[in-house]
Amino acid sequence: MPELRKIPLDSLTLALRVWPAASRNAVPAVLLPATGKTAADWDTIAAPLSAERTVYAVDLRGHGASDWPGDYAVELMARDVIGLLDVLDIGEFDLIGHSVGGFVACLVAAARPATVRRLVVEDIPFPHPRPAAPPARPAGDLPFDWRMVEQVRPELDSPDDALWSATVAAIAAPTLVIGGGPASPIPQPDVAELAARLRDARLTTINAGHLIHATRPADFLAAVTEFL
- Report d(CA 50, CA 56) in Å as an integer: 9
| pLDDT of 73 higher than 80 | yes
Per-residue pLDDT, 71: 98
Please count the residues of the chain: 228
Q: Looking at the 3D structure of the chain, how many domains does it have?
A: 1
Domain of residue 115 covers 3-227
Question: Could you give the dihedral angle defined by the CA atoms of residues 9, 10, 12 and 16, in that order, rounded to the nearest 10 degrees?
Answer: -10
Which one is predicted more confidently, 134 or 11? Answer: 11
Provide mean pLDDT across the span 38-64: 96
Q: Which domain CATH number covers 169?
A: 3.40.50.1820
| pLDDT of 174 higher than 80 | yes
